[in-house]
Structure 1
Amino acid sequence: MNLREQLSEYVRACFTGAWIESHEHQEAIAEIAQLCRDEGWVMTHWDIECGFQAEGQGSQESAAGDPLTAVRAAGAMASPDQTSLLVLQNFHRFVGSAEVIQALSRQIVAGKQTRTILIVLAPITQIPPELEKMFVVLEHALPDRQQILEIARGIATEPGELPEDPALQQILDAAAGLTRVEAENAFSLSLVRQQQVTADTIWGLKSQSLLKGGLVSLHRGTQDFDGLGGMAALKAFTRRVLRQPSRDNPRKRARGVLLLSPPGCGKSAFCKALGKEVGRPVLILDVGSLMGSLVGLSEERTRQALRIIDAMAPAVVMIDEVEKAFAGVNGIGDSGVASRMFGMFLSWLNDHESDVFVVCTANDVSKLPPEFARSERFDGVFFLDLPSREEKDRIWAIYRDLYEIDSDQSRPDDAHWTGAEVKSCCRLAALLDLPLAQAAENVVPVAVTAAESIEGLRAWASGRCLSASQPGIFQHKSEAPKSRRRVSRDPSAN
């Protein structure tokens, strides 16, 4: 249901206070004006610069700069046989005043008798407690794929400027989540740069837009699964669920995976390569950046970040080291902020219908509550063990080629090495101009420094997680403890 349909229902039901959250005020005002023309209602809008402006008339400077007068003037607009709408643009800047709060409260109550509707148009929802029960909150949705396509066709009017499918679908995917003005700017810039509309230019502008918000960041890498050794079962699973043709049906969309492993086994690299492999952007959600200093700010920033993620669909969302991201989930020391943020994230994981594939990584499962990994929040929980001999050979080949290391060089003893340690050895060999065997002297495997914790992680994952390397459940056979040396009690035998 679009903004016009929602607002029409509430006005007919005589809801005299409406708060519309929108980043496209001119588009919202145009939609409200069209609704008023269709219904025979009277519309006036006010902003602090131009004052009152009735539909089809010029501005009236008398009330400019005085929000209190603007609210009080709503009563004078009442007509016994007509419905009147007063749109207050960017009025969230003034609702902190006690006088304005009282005037709004009085006018909303009086509007029931005169059918005078107050509409606050603002980019955020920031309603004082005194007015919370008096306003209904509406959201002005961003343009959908069909509207974006119409914008693109309006910009790219010459033959060849707008490609056909499947490139056109990639452009629409890239433009998802942009406002109408942002989409127009992106398409125009793409035409200037490349003489046709391309997805790469749109992604570049989109990345800048996300950086301004600071809530999520966008990763557009060049590495796909060919540059990632091992994890055959995990690759096959994610590739299959994300390439299903039923993505338009919300009930058949993939939800995500939880990856558990010792450090350095390629969880983060897999997530970034997944986006390139399936043609989706990778959104990196840093939970620490959502924290705010004011009461309620962290929760609001979390909701805002999740709305951005939904608007960016289809996408892959990466939350790295999730057990550290929600470290205060038990509420100790932070007044329960982390618990509330975690609760919102769990609800979103379970209920969201957007085409978003979530990849969470963790090194220590003991810090995660059991409800986090339950069914229907993730499609699977995978354990990434240290690479096998075959996987390690593939990883060596990838990084030898990447760092231009002679294939004739002998490899060092890489028992218990992770993929990150293989990469480190190759990088140091290239950096220091040393043979691999000498470069390996600077590498201390995590399986040595954290042997006990890794063994505990394997023991927990055995029988509980899917294996990332081969189909089926991960099974780990722990080594039997070495028996103590037997000493004969017969002195003559010793």
Structure 2
Amino acid sequence: MTKDEFIQELEVLIRARYGVILINTLEEERALDLLTDLARKLNKRLLTWSCTRGLVMDGNTAVHPDTVDLMTAIAKAEQLAEEPSLFVWLDLQSHLNSSPVYIRRFKELAQEIRERMPSNSIIVGPLMEIPTELQKEVTIIDMPYPDLNELKMIISQFAQQYRDRNDLQIDCSESALDALGRASIGLSKTEIENCLAKSLVQHKRITGEDIDFILEEKKQNIRKSGILEYVDTEKLETADIGGLDNLKKWLEIRKKAYTPEAEQFGIGWPKGVLLVGVPGCGKSLSAKCVAASWKMPLLRLDLGRVFGMYVGSSEANIRLALSMSEAVSPSILWIDEIEKALSGLASSNQSDGGTTSRVFGTILTWMQEKKSPVFVFATANNIGSLPPELLRKGRFDEIFFVDLPNEQERAEIFRIHIKRIGRNPENFDIAKMVKLSGEASLGDGVRLTGSEIEACVNQALLEAFFVRNSEGHPEGDVTSADIERAIVQSVPLSRVRKEDIGYMRTWATDNAVRASLAPESALSSAPESPAMAEVTVGRNIDF
């Protein structure tokens, strides 16, 4: 819903004499500004109530000091409601929840307004748990965050105040306003003004270069939610992923769907992707690198934090998390190891009163119907724990299976991690490392994962450092032999969980797309072992 649509809908509810309208928002100041303009348009008085000031008319005239008491304020509102008025109630939730008397009096006021008075009661604040007695009286309307045009206007109005200052650099050009406005999507008016004020203090400027301040504010908002985590992807790129070329190509095509040209062409927003497969083979790293490549914020949803101890809090938490991901869109919502949070779904009605089922249902409905550009990147290790509703078409654009890395992929992974420790891969025997880390040395169906390769490189580096310092060889450095020794000493996960990995491969044959491209040359000319045939599971895509 845009701002104009919100105002139009609110005006219709007011004209239709709805008794109580709840504006769901945390932007109290902005809501009051919009209501002031609407009251003026409708020729109604605007009276606000708070627990500190009581009833105040038109923003500055106190009606009576005794109206700080809610009961007195409601009685006074009944008298004033004979004339066309908008009564805006702030801080109301704690009062209504504290006593049934308040609920009854507020309900009586709502009924009188609806039946015979040319006025309306409007509650402004975050969505509250509406008392059962009032549910038939209250109509909820969500106030949207500022859209791009409103954001540009907010930024321009703030910057205009300082244009005459010679010691400040103020850029109000269309390009600067557009850049700042797009970066500010998902922030409130107050938060945007705070960012601009911070830039003035620190850098004496408001220009298109101040996007970093805005992104930092978004990170703060995510942290304050306690449910979402803003993941830093600044130093990552898709080249940090070894292998998974099929997945990379698929994601590169989806990246172009977020361009203005794609929107004009009629292409909709991608829904998301589900990665299932062997732990330690790059699923989580892929989420981080995609966010870096797409230049979008990566928000990690910890479903464990969603479940609260109070009735209804879990459902409210997931709605908050999903709305926040939409507020900072375009964004990537990363749900890591989704099967763990949904493991109790089958017995939810008996174990938690159905809370897990309701949370899961909220996620599914949102994934199916969301209109905002939020790309869902979900990962799972245990296929058997995934509910079938999650896997059907329409939830995700595609499901990929991530298998143990083949020869070429392991060679690429070794090079990546050797570069990461500041060494030249050309000085190492990559071919021998690939052989030692595969089935030719470890046995059929057993290979090192990407994370195990990283651990071997780190172990070799640590041991080389120890030898260099303890045995008096300052010129010594990590060598191929050090990494090879670490490989031989490792215990591969694929050996410990061989049956589980076999089950995943069988499932993926008909249900998922292979994340890795298996070049014909690699399979026909120099296979690692007959078990390599197991790798080529899943459908392939002809790009």
Q: Aligned with 1:354: secondary structure?
A: coil
| Partner amino acid, structure 2, of 1:188 | A
Quote the residue 2:249 is aligned against.
236
Q: What is the letter of the counterpart of residue 136 of structure 2?
A: K
Look up the SS of the partner of 1:198 in the other structure.
Answer: helix
Tell me, what secondary structure is at the counterpart of 2:229? strand
Do 1:417 and 1:445's aligned partners in 2 also have CA atoms closer than 8 Å? Answer: yes
Q: Does 1:70 align with 2:50?
A: no
Task: For residue 170 of structure 1, report the CA deviation from its aligned partner.
Answer: 5.6
After superposition, give the CA deviation of every residue in 1:299-356 in whole Å (9 maximum; x if it has no partner): 1111111111111110011000111121111114222111110011000000000001
Could you list the per-position Cα deviations for residues 157-199 of structure 1 after superposition, in whole angstroms to 9, with x for gaps in the alignment?
Answer: 566646875x866644432211110011123323444444432
Structure 1 residue corresponding to 2:512, chosen from 442, 465, 474: 465
Given the superposition, is the C-alpha separation of residues 160 and 12 from structure 1 closer, same or farther in structure 2, using an over 3 Å criterion?
A: closer
Aligned residue in 1 for 2:210? 198
Distance in 2, Cα, partners of 1:86 & 1:341: 35
Which residue number in structure 2 is paired with residue 174 of structure 1?
Answer: 183
Among 169, 184, 197, the residue aligned to 2:193 = 184
Deviation at residue 449 of structure 1 after TM alignment: 1.1
- Determine if contact 2:218/2:328 at 8 Å carries over to the other structure: no
1:154 CA drift (Å): 3.1
Q: Give the alignment partner of residue 42 of structure 2, picking from 14, 39, 43.
A: 39
Secondary structure of the 1:243 match is helix
Q: How does 1:39-188 map to 2 (within 5 A)?
A: 39-55=42-58, 57-79=60-82, 82-96=83-97, 97-111=99-113, 112-156=115-159, 161=171, 171-188=180-197
Query: Which residue identity lines up with residue 219 of structure 1 in the other structure?
Result: V
CA distance in 2 between counterparts of 1:368 and 1:73 reads 57
AA at the equivalent of 2:106: L
Q: Distance in 1 between matches of 2:264 and 2:150?
A: 17
Q: Once superposed, what is the RMSD of the aligned Cα atoms?
A: 2.3
More helix by share: 2
Describe the SS at the equivalent of 2:96.
Answer: coil
Q: 1:436 maps to what in 2?
A: 483
- Structure 1 distance, partners of 2:6, 2:239, is 46
Q: 1:219 aligns with which of 231, 241, 262?
A: 231
Instruction: State the distance in 1 between where 2:510 and 2:86 align.
Output: 63
Residue type of the partner of 1:235?
Answer: K
1:288 to partner: Cα distance: 0.6
**In the alignment, is the contact (CA less than 8 A) between 2:24 and 2:124 conserved in 1?**
yes
Asked if the contact 1:262/1:385 (under 8 Å) is kept, the reply is: yes
Shift of 1:99: 0.9
Q: In structure 1, how many angstroms separate the alpha carbons of the residues matched to 2:262 and 2:286?
A: 24
Gaps in structure 2 of 5+ consecutive residues: 164-168, 439-446, 465-477, 520-530, 536-543
One-letter amino acid matched to 2:437: D
What's the CA shift for 1:114?
1.6
Contact 1:246 1:253 in 2 (8 A): no
Aligned pairs, number: 474
Write the distance in 1 (CA, Å) between the matches of 2:46 and 2:360: 43
Do the aligned partners of residues 345 and 441 (structure 1) sit closer, same or farther apart at CA in structure 2, a change above 3 Å counting? same
Q: Which residue of 2 aligns with 1:346?
A: 364
Match of 1:395?
413
Letter in 2 for 1:179: S
Alpha-carbon distance in 2 for matches of 1:318, 1:78: 50
Q: Percent identity?
A: 28
Letter in 2 for 1:306: L
1:83 is displaced (CA, Å) by 2.1
Looking at structure 1, the residues matched to 502 and 339 of structure 2 have their Cα atoms a distance apart, in angstroms, of: 19
Residue 5 of structure 1, CA deviation: 1.8
Shift of 1:57: 4.4
Q: Is the 8 A contact 2:47 2:59 kept in 1?
A: no
TM-score if structure 1 supplies the norm length? 0.90
Does the alignment pair 1:414 with 2:461?
A: no
The answer to whether the 8 A contact 1:16-1:115 is kept is no
Structure 1: give runs of 5+ residues left out of the alignment.
480-494
- TM-score normalised by structure 2 residue count: 0.82
After superposition, the C-alpha distances for 1:252-299 in whole angstroms (9 at most, x for unaligned) are 111100101100010000001000101111110010111100111101
Counterparts in 2 of 1:201-280, with a 5 A limit?
A: 201-221=213-233, 222-244=235-257, 245-247=261-263, 252-280=268-296
Note closer, same or farther for the CA distance 1:443–1:193 as it changes in structure 2 (3 Å cut): farther
Distance 1:75 1:359, change over 3 A: same
Q: How do residues 316-395 of structure 1 correspond to structure 2 at under 5 angstroms?
A: 316-330=332-346, 331=348, 332-395=350-413
- Alpha-carbon distance between aligned partners in 2 of 1:17 and 1:324, rounded to the nearest angstrom: 42
**Residue matched to 1:307:** 323
Give 1:225 shift: 0.3
After superposing the two structures, state which structure 1 stretch, 99-108 or 119-128, moved more.
119-128
Q: 1:426 to 1:368 in 2, by over 3 A?
A: same
Alpha-carbon distance change, 431 to 12 in structure 1, aligned in 2, over 3 angstroms = same
CA distance in 2, matches of 1:452, 1:56: 70
Preserved CA contact (<8 Å) 2:333 2:377:
yes
Deviation sequence 1:11-64 (CA, Å, 0-9, x none): 111111111112121221121121111111122111111111111642245235
Aligned to 1:462, what secondary structure does the other structure show?
Answer: helix
Amino acid aligned to 1:177: G
Instruction: Give 1:366 shift.
Output: 1.3
